[in-house]
Amino acid sequence: MNDMKLSFEKSRPGRRCSSPPSADIPQGYAASLLPAGALRSKPPRLPEMSEVDVVRHYTALSRRSFGVDNGFYPLGSCTMKYNPRISEELAALPGFSDTHPLEGEAASQGCLALMHGLSGALCEITGMDAFTLAPAAGAHGEWTGLLLIRAWHESRDDSARTTILVPDSAHGTNPASAALAGYRVQPVPSASDGGVDIDALRRLAGPDTAGLMLTNPNTLGLFERRIEDIAAIVHNAGGLLYYDGANLNAIMGLVRPGDMGFDVVHINLHKTFGTPHGGGGPGSGPVGCRARLADFLPSPIVRKEGDTYSFAEPPRSIGRVTGFYGNFAVLVKAYAYILSLGADGLREASECAVLHANYMMNSLRGVLELPYEGPCMHEFVLSARALREETGCSALDISKAMLDQGMHPPTMYFPLIVAEALMIEPTETESPETLDEAIRVIANIVETARRDPAALHEAPRTTPVGRLNEVEAARRPVVRYSFEDGD
Ligand SMILES: *Cc1c(COP(=O)(O)O)cnc(C)c1O
């Protein structure tokens, strides 16, 4: 099956898709306008193909990729839900897609109104007072939020706060963002129920604490019940509370980070709010904060006076964190998603996401180990540790075997505190039939592991490429094609 040629290999000299009329400007005229150093010495090497072969090439490629439009995609922590097509259609309206960032405020009132409206909706959903829409991804939002925390402490001449506390169940971007923002990262251990170890937190919080980064529900899919105690401990120590809201899918319309005591929040619009996620973007990671931090927000923010919208720079802004105004088309999709679902619809989406995760968790708890008891929120974590000891089949083997059944595997080996972890997030957009089918597939694979473990080690067999050497692929990726002439 792995016989697909690159377009460069299909190329034949002179073959064309279309034949434009020949140019009526003298040859060499365009080149005469450019400085000699900017000119090519030879024409670019482009594949030369007929139109039908181009169409077949890309159609074949599209069939080899897997997405939410192909099948079940329970990649935990990533919220690979179906995103309504209407959001795409609205983002493609010429008034949004043909606008230019340098057009000026007067000509962009509609776009500014949308950004203003979206900021307001996100404030309402999260319980924050102000938002920046600029950050281009979740991790970018974390870094921006940490700069807000740093600016806050600096504004109070409190230079002793050098440490960010991060629970050991956190998403890997949390400690990375804290380090990038110049902080020392102090891990906080988890308690046996999967929540934060309160006694440990009490010992670790102190005059050097700049803040705590917390995901709630955490990466085990569990709601942190002691959140009020946690907020009190961090605030009493003089630190601020950062909420990783990448996965807001579990709580929209049900609880708000602001009401839990958080000071800063980032949201992944590309997980929860109508933008497809994956393939490298574009994403959007807006950051919200309480009023006392709003003066530090990145510029620009949108202000409304009377019926007029304008860009403004917050008085003590940390500066710009991205070019222009963030990934605008993603903002359009998020606003479309929020307005089309409405307050009731958003709550219902979260309730369904939680219901689906609990349904699957309870159906699979006898099939694989459930290391932390639910009820879960939008996702749950199983462990293949015992199965591996018994049969030699690992979480990786189960995942590869799922590919042969037309399903994307769950997130594996994360969170790090669970051995042989499989982190399953079914999302709200799946039908009961799809959930039942996924449960049946996973149960069958586990049964195969007991009966014929060797078969599992050979999966996947039906995909364009079989089992890859993942270490080699990560350490020595071959991402550049070498032409025969070595060019
Ligand atoms: C996805 C995710 C992030 C990072 O978001 P990116 O847009 O990939 O940078 C951070 N935290 C959690 C909990 C996430 O699930």
**Residue 177, ligand 1, Cβ within 6 A:** no
Query: Which residues sit opposite 212 in a β-bridge?
Result: 165, 241
Strand order in the sheet with 421-424: 380-383, 421-424, 411-412
| Of 384, 392, 413, the residue nearest 455 (C-alpha) | 392
Q: Would you tell me how many other CB atoms lie within 10 Å of the CB of residue 405?
A: 18
Atom of ligand 1 nearest to the CA of 247: 15
Looking up residue 257, the CATH number of its domain turns out to be 3.40.640.10
Is 468 contained in some domain? no
Same domain, residue pair 173 and 206: yes
Residue whose CA lies nearest to ligand 1 atom number 6: 138
* Cα–ligand 1 centroid distance for 139 (angstroms): 6
**Residue 77, ligand 1, Cβ within 6 A:** yes
**Residue 327, ligand 1, Cβ within 6 A:** no
In the three-class reduction of DSSP (H, G, I as helix; E, B as strand; rest coil), residue 22 is classed as: coil
Q: What pLDDT sits at residue 1? A: 44
Q: What pLDDT sits at residue 40? A: 87
Exposed/middle/buried for 389, CB within 10 Å: 0-12, 13-18, 19+?
A: exposed
Residue whose CA lies nearest to ligand 1 atom number 2: 246
Residue whose CA lies nearest to ligand 1 atom number 7: 138
**Residue 139, ligand 1, Cβ within 6 A:** yes
**Residue 211, ligand 1, Cβ within 6 A:** no
Same domain, residue pair 332 and 359: no
Same domain, residue pair 170 and 229: yes
Q: What pLDDT sits at residue 383? A: 98
Is 8 contained in some domain? no
Same domain, residue pair 120 and 161: yes
* Cα–ligand 1 centroid distance for 89 (angstroms): 26
Full domain range(s) for residue 367 = 342-463
Query: Which residues sit opposite 457 in a β-bridge?
Result: none
| Of 65, 67, 71, 63, the residue nearest 431 (C-alpha) | 71
Is 220 contained in some domain? yes
**Residue 285, ligand 1, Cβ within 6 A:** yes
Q: What pLDDT sits at residue 281? A: 66
Same domain, residue pair 291 and 368: no
* Cα–ligand 1 centroid distance for 432 (angstroms): 27
Q: What pLDDT sits at residue 41? A: 87
Same domain, residue pair 453 and 315: no
Q: Which of 81, 215, 222, 244 to mutate to test the pocket of ligand 1 (most atoms within 8 A of CB)?
A: 244
Same domain, residue pair 311 and 349: no
| Of 159, 150, 130, 115, the residue nearest 331 (C-alpha) | 115
Is 471 contained in some domain? no
Residues 382 and 286: their CA atoms lie apart, in Å, by 31
Q: Which amino acid is at 53?
A: D
* Cα–ligand 1 centroid distance for 138 (angstroms): 5
Q: What pLDDT sits at residue 487? A: 60
Domain boundary residue among 341, 367, 392? 341
Q: How many domains does the chain have?
A: 2
Q: What pLDDT sits at residue 2? A: 54
Same domain, residue pair 337 and 366: no
Looking up residue 346, the CATH number of its domain turns out to be 3.90.1150.10
For the chain, give me the number of helices (H) and strands (E)? 18, 12
Exposed/middle/buried for 185, CB within 10 Å: 0-12, 13-18, 19+?
A: middle
Residues 71 and 84: their CA atoms lie apart, in Å, by 15
Query: Which residues sit opposite 242 in a β-bridge?
Result: 213, 264
Per-residue pLDDT tens digits of the chain, which is 487 residues long = 457 899 999 999 999 998 888 888 888 888 889 998 988 888 888 999 999 999 999 999 988 888 898 899 999 999 999 999 999 999 999 999 999 999 999 999 999 999 999 999 999 999 999 999 999 999 999 999 999 999 999 999 999 999 999 999 889 899 999 999 999 999 999 999 889 999 999 999 999 999 999 999 998 999 999 999 999 999 999 999 999 999 899 999 999 999 999 999 999 999 999 988 876 668 999 999 999 999 999 999 999 999 999 999 999 999 999 989 999 999 999 999 999 999 999 999 999 999 999 999 999 999 999 999 889 999 999 999 999 999 999 999 999 999 999 999 999 999 888 999 999 999 999 999 999 999 999 999 999 999 999 999 999 999 988 998 889 989 999 888 888 776 6
Query: Which residues sit opposite 213 in a β-bridge?
Result: 242
Is 413 contained in some domain? yes
Residue with tokens 């319309």: 253
Is 9 contained in some domain? no
**Residue 220, ligand 1, Cβ within 6 A:** no
Atom of ligand 1 nearest to the CA of 140: 9
For the four alpha carbons of 43, 48, 50 and 55, in that order, the dihedral sign comes to: negative
Q: What pLDDT sits at residue 470? A: 84
Q: Are strands 308-312 and 287-289 parallel, antiparallel or unpaired?
A: unpaired
Atom of ligand 1 nearest to the CA of 283: 7
Q: What pLDDT sits at residue 30? A: 81
Is 39 contained in some domain? no
Q: Which of 140, 173, 242, 381 to mutate to test the pocket of ligand 1 (most atoms within 8 A of CB)?
A: 173
Atom of ligand 1 nearest to the CA of 270: 7
* Cα–ligand 1 centroid distance for 259 (angstroms): 22
**Residue 277, ligand 1, Cβ within 6 A:** no
* Cα–ligand 1 centroid distance for 246 (angstroms): 5
Q: Which amino acid is at 430?
A: E
